[in-house]
Amino acid sequence: MSVVGGKAMTLNVIILAAGNGRWMVSHFPKVMLTISSESLLSRVIRTAQSLHPSQMNIVYGNGGSDIPNAFPQIHANWVHQYDQLGTGHAVMQALPFCKDKEQILVLYGDVPFISTDTLKKLLTVAQEKKGIGLLVATLPHPKGFGRIIRDKQNHITAIIEEKDATLEQRAIQEINTGIITAPVAFLKKLLPKIENHNAQKEYYLTDVIALFVQSGYPIADITTTDLMEIRGVNDLWQLMELERDFQQRRAQELAYNGVIIVDHTRLDIRGNVDIASAVQLEVNVILEGNVKIGAGSKIGPNVYIKNSIIGEQVTVLANSVIEGATIENHCSVGPFARIRTGTLMRTQSKIGNFVETKATILGENSKASHLTYLGDATIGKNVNIGAGTITCNYDGINKWPTEIGDGAFIGSNTSLIAPIQVGENATIAAGSAVSKHVPPEQLTIVRAKQETAKHWKRPSKKNPVLANKKLVD
């Protein structure tokens, strides 16, 4: 049961998602293409769910079962339109699953940014007139859209598709968005009467408007001034344009909330972000999934952050990748660092250039400044990890932990062969391959004895002509 305008109505949503996208130059279902890493259809489904309909019918065709299989968590009635014969025909496929006392709302799987507020307004005006609600808009250049035909009393009398319109009708700037609401009983009575005598030989849903008027059913309309809400995707260029417009809006919202964005055309937000004021985002930053960034942090150029929490006053230098990590206040990352899932950097810790971490806790004020791999490690406070250090955490079958106590100093080019523990304030000499627990407060050295082979000679490069001659001989 949906509540609109303070009144309850039984709402049934039909989402048309069967189009073949003939201009997409791809066999991939158009509605499964993405904007900001979320499919067009997913966005429409989410908006429909916000209206709390009693049922949601999704009409699919191109792509077959790949589309419903992509949404196993969605409670919807999936209706297969085997032949794509137009929007009117598509709605007719879903009508048998709708009850006469319900109100239908028709949405489109390739119009991803229609808003909940606009749809509520549309449903309200239709409910007040006990009839049909139509969403319209005015475009300075309405090419490709059906035109709204009104009588002298300014009542809508019909919708003419552009391919079937006269030159006079094409000059009309008020267009049909395609989004319509009507009682199920009205549609069941009149929709079967529409015909396909038009340029595309299709059954247009818009043709039912004239039949509503002839039958005396009241038609209410509202106008949207946010044209992004009604923009559909018919080709890959339009998809790209809509992506850029969407990203610009996200950047604008952040800027108005105090985020410093160096270049809004080179920022991609692909999920839900919570960014505090005084954060600086350099060029080519990509934020994906759920990302939170605290006040005063600086994110350098070409940085990718996914499903991570970045604290306050954190510096992330160029070309770093952070995924599934938590970085506390006053930390430093990069450049060229890879912070993988399960990493926790405590306050004032540092991970430098060409360092990779996975499932690792780096303690407060500890640092791994360069050329290091830390996996499945727990590292205490004030620890120094020398360049070239690696935790050998994988034996080919299992992963094993490394524990390093507070104040330890790990010399350069050290291999810590897990499972292993390094005591507090321990020092490991550079070049050691350590496979046993290291005692605290002591220096541990694990090196082979250095030897020199006195009669050894470096191989020389052979003359290829002489070598070939020898082989022939």
Instruction: Confirm if 286 and 320 have CB atoms less than 8 A apart.
Output: no
Contact 5, 128 (CB under 8 A): yes
Alpha carbons 369 and 354: distance in angstroms, whole number:
8
Whether a cis peptide bond, with omega within 30° of 0, leads into 459 is: no
The amino acid present at 235, given as its one-letter code, is: D
CA pair distance 15, 203, nearest whole angstrom: 17
Q: Which of 178, 183, 175 is nearest to 129 (CA)?
A: 183
**Rounded CA separation 27/22 (Å):** 9
Pairing mode, strands 7-9 and 2-4 = antiparallel
Which one from 80, 155, 264, 370 is the annotated catalytic residue?
370
Tokens coding 254: 């952040």
Q: Is residue 370 among the annotated active site residues?
A: yes
Q: How far apart are CA 426 and CA 438, in angstroms?
A: 7
Where in the sequence numbering do the catalytic residues fall?
Answer: 370
